Amino acid sequence: MIGHLIFKDGTTFEGISFGSKKGKAGEVVFSTGMAGYPESMTDPSYQGQILTLTYPIIGNYGVPERKYWESPSIKVSGLVVSNYNDTPSHHLSKRSLSQWLIDEDIPAVQIKDTRALTQKLRDEGSQLGKIVIENDVEFYDPNKENLVSKVSVKKISVQKAFSPRKTKNILYIDCGGKRNMISCLQRRGANVIVVPWDFNPLDSEKKLHELMKEQGIALHIDGFVVSNGPGDPKFVDKTIQTTKQLMETKKPILGICLGNQLLCLAGGGNTKKLKFGHRGQNGPCIMEGTNLPAGRQGRCYITTQNHGFAVSELPKGFKTWFTNANDGSNEGIIHTKLPFMSVQFHPEATPGPQDTEWIFDYFLDKIK
Amino acid sequence: MDKVKKVLVLGSGALKIGEAGEFDYSGSQAIKALKEEGITTVLINPNIATIQTSKFLADTIYFLPVTPEFVEKVIEKEKPDGILLSFGGQTALNCGLELHKNGILKKYGVDVLGSPVSAIILSEDRQRFSDHLARIEVATPPSRAAKTIKQALQIASDMGFPVMLRSGFALGGQGSGIAKNKEELARICEKAFPFVSQILVEKYLHHYKEIEYEVVRDIDDNCVTVCNMENMDPLGIHTGESIVIAPSQTLTNYEYHTLRSIAIKIVRSLGIIGECNVQFALNPRPLTPKRSDGGRAKPNDTEPPFEYYVIELNARLSRSSALASKATGYPLAYVAAKLALGKNLTTIQNKVTKATQFCFEPALDYVTVKIPRWDINKFQRADEAIGSSMKSVGEVMGIGRTFEEAYQKAIRMLDLEFEGAVNEAMLGDGVGRDETLKLLTKATPKRMFLLSKAFYQGVSVAAIYKATGIDPWFLERIKHIVSVEKAFKKRGILSAEDVWNLKQLGFSDKRIGMLLNKSGLEIRSYRKKHAILPSVFQIDTLAGEFPAKTNYLYMTYNGNHSDLKPTKKKGVIVLGSGPYRIGSSVEFDWTTVNTALALKRYKKQSIMINCNPETVSTDYDISDRLYFEELTFERIADIYDYEKPFGIVISVGGQTPNNRSGSLKSYGCKILGTDPRNIDKAENRNKFSALLDKLSIKQPEWATFTHFPELLRFCDKVGYPVLIRPSYVLSGAYMRICHNHEELAEYTKKATLVSSEFPITVSKFIEDAKEIELDGVAHKGRILSSVISEHVENAGVHSGDATIVLPPQRLYVLTIKAMEEVAKNLAAELHITGPFNIQFLAKDNDVSVIELNVRASRTFPFISKVTGVNYIDLAVDSFFNNPPKQIVQNPINGVAVKVAQFSFSRITGADPILHVEMASTGEVACFGEDIEEAFLKGELSVGGKMPKKGVYVSVGGDLNKAAFLESAKRIATLSLPVFATNKTAKYLEAHGIKAKRLYKIIEKQSPSVLEYIQKGVIDLAINVPDEQSEQEVMDGYLIRRCAVDNNVTLYTDLKKAELFVKAITQKKPDDLLIKSWNEYL
């Protein structure tokens, strides 16, 4: 069946539909990552976005069971690829990508020239668009609302450490975070108390303690993580306010992706929307201030990127931690004295290179 | 690191199986990278046909063997402060390691740049490397030694069946094998233990996936993987023999990135500075993982089951890194050289995007498929099975946006007249379904076509997977190709929708036409009418994320726009040579690169078309536009239609482009140089013969036959021996010399070639004739300059295998004059503009012409570098009607000798004998004060050794024996034991030369020749065959093969053997002068 990807400016790409027949609208973005479509598609940061994959052959290893996803459902509004393969081959595959899309009612089209589409987005910036198969739908701008409230967990819960040796308790504010972010903490011996984006642990200490008791974990919080998530950080004011208060506890805080922007805003800095964002698995980020001889650049890490907004102005007391080696944009901030830090990229990867998982160690080491 | 000022670069010598053009690419890029830093470069590489041995690259060039003895002397003379070992393959690496171990590098204060030597040594020692990996918790295939059957059983049950048993090489493979259960294990052990004291029991990784990563690391510990690659064939088939896909297709994010992290971990642990290749085995169906068998410890169930082993690591540039470079656009060798100088990755600007830097990992928005090119059928008696060692001689890489598109393109790129995944001839060969499935279990060069055939015959994916271990994902893609073509054929009508679909799956016009009984040209015009045209896409390393200025292009039907505008009249297309193969190799890369560079002088933009990832012509900075594309008529015409260029050069890339001249001309392309109608007059045997007759130029008597009786009559008339061949040949394919009726009958029976469709050409073979080459460039029929070089071997040895001497040493002035006259007449008659080559026979001043090629021959780089005239520059001048007024040759002082490199040891079972069919895989050329010095340097460059233990002589035929006597006397002066078989021994004794008699196999007595060769008593074997009986042929073959397998220097040609003996008896090591190219000028 034929489907169309229609942009607000009227540009239309025709393609073969391989997902749900229900049309969907959103912001059209592209990612250059070559492996890991199940991980990307379930990344809540893609809420409200139609994802174009620049790698042209998709579907090869099917879809694994839910426990391997980054969240319990597909988060992209639609998927655009060049060529879809309906013959997956992998021992973990439970169903085809097409079946998954149909099951979750997400439209998808194969338009051959995804390179032209990518070039359009690159040159003109991310734009609104919609995938129309049978029935037309209205354009929708995800950047005009609080998307975090849609993807954040609804109630608090505890995810216990995988190896319960010297455990630390981390309060994790879920703005639409990825499964592996929590796993990375659990793997390092942390109990993770997952709370909704608008939950303020300082105001609701009692509730928190009840849960922790129930789960049999010690009644102390050692640090905070503000997760990734979709959309414009400025809509997430409640989390910004919470983060501000958390900073007063002087306990270690780690922000990731949206969390980086929220920490920045909480500290009094500013953020901006990027033209077409960074989405891929090959973003080189240079760590500032690494101790090297004159004339030498710092260490450069290859990172997973998925963001449309970035830090434009450092908050007071913070310095640049990481810088994007390609366009010089900010990729992380760190407080000069206190244990507050955040990164724009994804140290939890999935999908992408695992090179910056050490950020979690670094953060946990700050806990006395 | 102190700043280095002068760096010695070691090349890899001649092209051979397992070490080919990729090292010209890597060495050239390294030298460029060094030059940019103001470093003086000294290069040792006897391979004269390479780009790296060009004046515009290295500052000082030595055409000398890359062996410790010679390199030490160069170091002593040049006093470099640094040396690069990792850009010249295993040859350079081994040589460098030896210099390190001998303390030579330390003695002369030469720093090894790049990865620490200790790391390289560690990575080269299997056991130590495996121990090292165990220490950093990285898995290698479990392997333990057993001293008894009981122990072996215990180990096997611990490991789990099946296991691989290895009992060492002493038994010639016997006593090794795969045991699926206790019984099989016991059986193998029983055979082996009487002979060996221990057996190695290894985990057998049956049908595991093979995955590779290319990693670079800088001095500041920045580390990236430039590319990962997946072998289509499962583990067990050498990566050089496998179809390889980049990026991997069947790996999940977890698998992709976990292996990536492990690769980086290993590279960091070794302290690599520069480039490194890591190869993994990955279990496609891992069960409960244990840490000990490659599984990662599972902290929880969010990490899937996973089992891998590291199977190989190359701490240097490799064939895979060349492939990765071309697959991604990331110039690995260039970057690796910068890193070796201590640069930080982030400070090296990305030459492709010109907007970013090199500390990143390329994102591809296309897929590449590499397919090896084999020429196994060119070798008599060779075994066509492919497996864990390399036999292929070249490779191609198809680029597309579907696997099917890239795969079918790559198959056409092989230049073997295949139209795609389906081989029509094989479909109709009458072999049934069950037999096909059985054939599929053995990997051979034909297997890729058996896959499509099996699908045609309705075999299931599951059954083929079981037989081949090729992941079902790839099988499904091939099945898809088959079903789409079947359905289309059934519908039997052309529609735009169908054609689009077929083109997106990589079908050629010709194949689409075949399915509907139409010609490719009909499909082409239909396509153009319906605007079904390929898009031109850039390979920009970033999948379109940033605007890139790259010139690296491919064409795809999976697109609707083109990334850049046509060059129009500014552009000139240069056709490259396609895959390296026997008969077409790095020399045609030199010619195409030089053409592209020369076009700059005419303010033209060069548009290179080539599809061979191991070339310099496909480097990012050689041409203004590089189409990494097929050299088929269809694709060249597509590019021509799109670019609308000033013209196209077809005469510098060897036979493949030359073969396109007619069809391109008919299509209306402007061919620069000789008119294709005149090219045809030289190529077409009948026309050429008539032309020679017309010009009263002598030629060996010949005729073409479609009936065997007529053929016999002709042979009787002209007299045996005769030279026999199919009408249409490249590099002597299927050519033979027949000495009598029986051999003739045998040949025609074997080749089943005599038919009206496949006529056969027979010519009188002139014995004991000299073969001479004349190469030159003409302009509008007037020769601008030419060079005559002579073969050491008599006619009967293919010119590509022959030893070639320049200037000629044994030619009469009259002969030279006669040949020049013939050349003058031919050039004038065919109105030649551009390069040409004539092959002559000369006997007693009588000159006849064997063939004329109206294109650059493989000797062009050789003659250009020896005479000081760049004949490609001259050819380009002639294309643009701008011939220089005066051309002065500035030949070297001394003699240059070009020597062939053979790779017989790689081709199991092949008879290592020289004949009319070309067998060499590469060549070198060395300079000397006289022919002996130059020749000896050349022979030492291609693996020859001065004998130190004993010489075996067997010269067949009385005339040959007499001719060899003088040489035998020389051998006697070496104070080495001489061995010979019965007749030769008697002959030698009769002439006062003491020789110990050894027995032939047929004689069933000890000591036999084979015994002595295997024992290492003999280190030079001269075996000039003149074999009559079947058994003698077999004996001779076994002796030759045994010499090759035991790495004993072997000569089978009388003239070449004589020259070698003369050289080793006249020259001492110190007589082989260490002089650079410049010092000969």
CA dist B1020 and B1048 (Å) reads 6
Chain A contact set for B345 (CB, 8 A): 300
Closest CB from A68, A116, A353 relative to B560: A116
The alpha carbon torsion through B63, B69, B73, B74 (nearest 10 deg) reads 40
Strands A330-335 and A253-256: unpaired
Same domain, B358 and B435: no
The CATH architecture of the domain made up of A2-144 is: 3-Layer(bba) Sandwich (3.50)
User: What are the residue boundaries of the structural domains of chain A, listed by start?
Assistant: 2-144, 148-365
Domain stops at, among B496, B529, B562:
B529
- Residue B473 CA from chain centroid, whole number: 29
Domain boundary at B529, B560, B588, which?
A: B529
Coil/strand/helix, residue A130: strand
- Same domain for B326 and B191: no
pLDDT at A141: 96
Q: Among residues 57-76 of chain A, which lie with CB inside 8 Å of chain B?
A: 57, 60-61, 64, 67-68
Phi, then psi, of B605 in degrees rounded to 5: -95, 125
* A91/B286 Cβ within 8 A: yes
Task: Using an 8 Å CB-CB cutoff, list chain B residues near A91.
Answer: 284-286, 305
What pLDDT shows up at residue B1070?
A: 94
Higher pLDDT, A285 or B350: A285
The Cα B628–Cα B619 span in angstroms is: 10
Q: What are phi and psi of B905, to 5 degrees?
A: -65, -25
Is residue B492 domain-shared with residue B543, that is, in the same domain?
no
B357/A36 CB distance under 8 A: no
Left (φ > 0), alpha (ψ -120 to 50) or beta: where does A111 sit? Answer: beta
Residue B374 shares a structural domain with residue B509: yes
Judge whether A135 is closer than 8 Å to chain B, CB to CB: no
User: Are B624 and B606 within 8 A, CB to CB?
Assistant: yes
Domain membership flag for residue B556: yes
- Indicate whether B395 and B333 sit together in one domain: no
Q: What is the DSSP letter of B307?
A: B
CA gap B871, B333 in Å, rounded: 29
Residue of B nearest to A286 (CA): B346
The reported pLDDT for the residue numbered A159 is 94
**Domain A148-365: which CATH number of 3.20.20.10, 3.40.50.720, 3.40.605.10, 3.40.50.880:** 3.40.50.880
CATH of the domain at B99: 3.40.50.20
Nearest CA in chain B to A40: B253
Contacts of B854 (CB under 8 A, 6+ apart): B651, B658, B674, B678, B679, B682, B683, B830, B832, B834, B835, B836
Residue B841 forms part of a structural domain: no
In a domain, B325, yes or no: yes
Terminal CA-CA length for chain A: 59
Note down the domain range covering B575.
Answer: 536-665
Distance CA B698, CA B690 (A): 11
Backbone angles phi, psi at A263, to 5 degrees: -60, -40
Contacts of B269 (CB under 8 A, 6+ apart): B132, B136
pLDDT value of position A296: 59
Instruction: Name the domain boundary from B649, B665, B681.
Output: B665
B390 and B349 both lie in a single domain: no
- Buried/exposed A306-338: b ≥16 CB within 10 Å, e otherwise: bbbbbbeebbeebebbbbbbbeebbbbbbbeee
Q: How far is A230 from chain B (nearest CA, A)?
A: 21
Provide the pLDDT for residue B178. 82
- Name the β-bridge partners of B898: B804, B925
| Residue B500 to chain A, least CA–CA distance (Å) | 11
Task: Measure CB to CB from residue B401 to each of A82, A87, A299 and give the nearest one.
Answer: A82
Give the number of other Cβ atoms within 10 Å of residue A235's Cβ: 17
**Shortest Cα distance, chain B CAs vs residue A364, angstroms:** 18
pLDDT in tens, A329-360: 999 999 999 999 999 999 999 999 999 999 99
Distance in angstroms (rounded) separating the CA atoms of residues A85 and A108:
13
**Collapsing DSSP states into helix, strand and coil, what is residue B721?**
coil
CA closest to B462 among chain A residues: A89
Mean pLDDT, residues A123-136: 95
**B551 falls within a domain:** yes
Catalytic residue positions of A, numbered? 257, 346, 348
If asked whether residues B525 and B574 sit together in one domain, one would say no
How many distinct structural domains can be found in chain B? 6
Chain B residues close to A85, C-beta within 8 Å: 473, 476-477
- The confidence score (pLDDT) of residue A116 equals 97
Q: Is A11 on the interface with B (CB under 8 A)?
A: no
B306 assigned to some structural domain: yes
Decide: A308 and A277 in contact? Cβ < 8 Å.
Answer: yes
Q: Which residues does chain B have within 8 Å of residue A57's beta carbon, measured at their own beta carbons?
A: 249, 367, 401-403
> Which of A92, A116, A299 is opposite residue B221, by nearest beta carbon?
A299
Q: In which residue ranges of chain B is pLDDT below 50? A: 169-173, 289-293, 295-299, 729-731, 753
Q: What is the pLDDT of residue B992?
A: 94
- List % helix, strand, coil for chain A (3-state, nearest 5): 25, 30, 45
Residues B524 and B414 both lie in one domain: yes
DSSP 8-class letter at B654: -
List beta partners, residue A197.
none
Residues 6+ apart with CB under 8 A from A258: A45, A148, A175, A176, A226, A227, A228, A229, A230, A231, A233, A236, A307, A309
Residues of A in Cβ contact (< 8 Å) with B213: none
> Angle at CA A303, nearest 5°, toward A35 and B263?
70
Q: Is residue B992 located within the same domain as residue B1030? A: yes
Residue-wise pLDDT for A72-109, tens only, equals: 999 999 999 999 999 999 999 999 999 999 999 999 99
Residue B865 lies in a domain: no
